[in-house]
Amino acid sequence: MKNSCSRRDFVRSSGLAAAALLAPKTAGAILSEHPAPDAAPQIHLSVASYTFRNFERAKLIAFLKQLNVSTVNLKDTKDHLPFDAQPETAALSDYSAAAIKLHAAGTIYFEKDEDADIRGKFEYCKRAGIPVIVAGDPAPETLPRIEKFVREYDIRFAIHNHGPEDKLWHSPLDVLKAVKTMDPRIGCCIDVGHTVRAGTDVVQAIHEVGPRLFNVHIKDLTDFNDKESQVAVGEGKMPVPKIFQALSAINYQGFLDLEYEIFPDNPMPGVLASFAYMRGVLAGLGFASPHN
């Protein structure tokens, strides 16, 4: 079914949330397929700071304020969350002053099967009070060592899948297979774009991962076989309403972080369009979208 107004038109309009309901289907179609629940579930929208990787921390904070978002998934890029203790403390002071909560850190890469290297990364997150590590490419043989630190620090460890190019973790289902008998604080960060490019049904993956889903990176693609086809959320083929429904069905308590990887020197038009679309769809589904 074609939209009664284009996605680009609704972004420009004053009624962003209402118009966003019209993509990718009409508002009536969305509401009839996904009736509002009696008690509205909550989906927590947030941002991966990698989206703003070309901007310093002060500008990142200004962007978050503009988006009316008070949480963030931080990465050690620019000065967003420096790894060394002293500059990290200065960054934490800035976020605290801006009333911004740090809900995750990543992607953090675990390339060494060494206690000192792993401990340093857990200490980094402990200093910041961060409850979830989004981890990139830990080798399967490293996981038993990492499990010891998960238990010691009580920090959840979410392995990020990176699609068909990833030699280890193509899909969340690869992660689940490796960790399903481990400490329940070891699980997945589902990147929906990389998941569909791996040929995995992202909605089914959410259901299968279930309680081991600790973080979600959301993006949109016009071609599920082409990494370079990313667009603002709502302009591609990603089944966003069904993703929201699946997260609600598993009682997901974490965050849905926009990771907008294109136009790094001018990301805000696409970021604003993505949030307008997602907030509109949430409203159409009868979901609550608290200010995060």
The answer on pLDDT for 41 being more than 80 is no
Question: Residue 91, SS3?
Answer: helix
What are residue 231's phi and psi, to 5 degrees? -140, 175
Angle, in degrees to the nearest 10, between helices 57-67 and 85-97: 30
In a domain, 140, yes or no: yes
Regarding pTM above 0.95, the answer is no
What pLDDT, on a 0 to 100 scale, did the predictor assign at position 120?
97
Average pLDDT over residues 111-128: 97
Query: From CA 62, how far away is CA 123, in angstroms rounded?
Result: 28
In a domain, 4, yes or no: no
pLDDT in tens, 52-111: 999 999 999 999 999 999 999 999 999 999 999 999 999 999 999 999 999 999 999 999
Q: Quick one: which of 274, 258, 250 has its CA closest to 41?
A: 250
Query: From CA 50, how far away is CA 192, in angstroms rounded?
Result: 16
Number of H helices, E strands in the chain: 12, 10
Average pLDDT over residues 271-280: 97
In a domain, 252, yes or no: yes
Determine contact, residues 155/125, Cβ cutoff 8 Å.
yes
**255-258 vs 230-231, strand pairing mode:** unpaired
* Domain extent for 85: 38-285
In a domain, 12, yes or no: no
Q: How many domains does the chain have?
A: 1
The answer on pLDDT for 244 being more than 70 is yes
Phi-psi region for residue 199, left (φ > 0), alpha (ψ -120 to 50) or beta? left
Query: From CA 191, how far away is CA 227, in angstroms rounded?
Result: 12
Query: From CA 40, how far away is CA 282, in angstroms rounded?
Result: 10
In three state form, how does the secondary structure of 170-239 look?
CCHHHHHHHHCCCCCCEEEEEEHHHHHHCCCCHHHHHHHHHHHEEEEEECEECCCCCHHHEECCCCCCCC
In a domain, 134, yes or no: yes
Determine contact, residues 266/273, Cβ cutoff 8 Å.
no
Q: What pairs with residue 14 in β-bridges? A: none
Determine contact, residues 204/231, Cβ cutoff 8 Å.
no
In a domain, 16, yes or no: no
In a domain, 15, yes or no: no
Which residues have a Cβ under 8 Å from the Cβ of 98 and sit 6 or more positions away?
61, 64, 65
Q: What is the CATH number of the domain that holds 237?
A: 3.20.20.150
> Which one is predicted more confidently, 197 or 11?
197
Q: What pairs with residue 134 in β-bridges? A: 106, 158
Determine contact, residues 169/137, Cβ cutoff 8 Å.
yes
What pLDDT, on a 0 to 100 scale, did the predictor assign at position 61?
98
What pLDDT, on a 0 to 100 scale, did the predictor assign at position 225?
94
pLDDT in tens, 171-227: 999 999 999 999 999 999 999 999 999 999 999 999 999 999 999 999 999 999 999
